[in-house]
Amino acid sequence: MKLCIALDMPTMQDNLALAREISRSFSNEEIWLKVGLRSFVRDGKAFVCMLQDLGFKIFLDLKIYDIPNTMLDCVYECHKLGVNMLTIHASCGREAMRALATFTHTQSLNMRIVAVSALTSFDEDGFMEVYNTSIARGVQSLANLVNESGIDGLVCSINEVSLIKNISSNLLTITPGIRLTATNDDQKRVANVKEAKRVGSDFIVVGRPIYNAQDKYAVIQQILSDM
């Protein structure tokens, strides 16, 4: 299991300060950094390069969702940026995912592509409203598509990790919504680190519990200990 720290703070300076603090205190091999939409739109490629200069592997979380050709063009540009992992939406469909998988394999790109299954902000009612099925059935269907298409894995809550691993143990599972204590925020399907480890998550994504903490070092150390 790897810890991926989400850099979603209000300014690039805040995010860089945290990244530098992490790089001074922890091994770059055990921690990845996630750059999401907010940070990438605001701070762009230059910000990604600054993080890479600190020695971190980068998870670029753009959740790409478009027609196959447009997604291919975007994946190529992300590859040129040298990121290590990239998100798309599994609901883009078989044609798009198969095209992306074929492209990355034939070009031997050193970048994992993982597909978002059900956003962790969805509860059962919200997912049913959009997908007309339960979360479990929807994720199972999407995971089968991902596996058949050759994409590397899925982003999911810990509730779906076992379901996905039963389809293929080779599928990576990336689990956001990790909380250290009970919270009342926009994430509906949350879990703690030990639960994620128990079900077999490959990556856990943690943001607010770290950067909202007074002692960020202690929180990261506790997460790594629980892992």
Q: What is the mean pLDDT of residues 42-53?
A: 96
Per-residue pLDDT tens over the stretch 64-115:
999 999 999 999 999 999 999 999 999 999 999 999 999 999 888 889 999 9
Residues facing residue 116 across a β-bridge = 89, 155
Has residue 21 got a pLDDT over 90?
yes
DSSP state of 84: S
- Residue 63 bears catalytic tag: yes
Q: Indicate which residue of 45, 63, 197, 216 is catalytic.
A: 63
Give CA–CA dist 30/161, Å, rounded. Answer: 21
Please name the residue ranges forming H helices in the chain: 12-25, 37-53, 68-81, 94-106, 124-131, 135-149, 161-167, 193-199, 208-211, 216-226
Q: Could you tell me how many helices (H) and strands (E) the chain has, helices first?
A: 10, 8
Compute the chain's Rg from CA coordinates: 17
Q: Which two tokens stand for residue 131?
A: 């997908």
Exposed/middle/buried for residue 173 (C-beta within 10 Å: 0-12, 13-18, 19+): buried
Per-residue pLDDT tens over the stretch 180-220:
764 554 455 567 899 999 999 999 999 989 988 999 999 99
Exposed/middle/buried for residue 174 (C-beta within 10 Å: 0-12, 13-18, 19+): buried
Q: What is the mean pLDDT of residues 31-40?
A: 96
Give CA–CA dist 128/192, Å, rounded. Answer: 25
Task: Answer whether 176's CB lies under 8 Å from 187's CB.
Answer: yes
Number of neighbouring beta carbons within 10 Å of residue 104: 22
pTM of the model: 0.92
Model confidence at 16, pLDDT cuts 50, 70, 90, reads very high
Q: Which two tokens stand for residue 152?
A: 């590397």
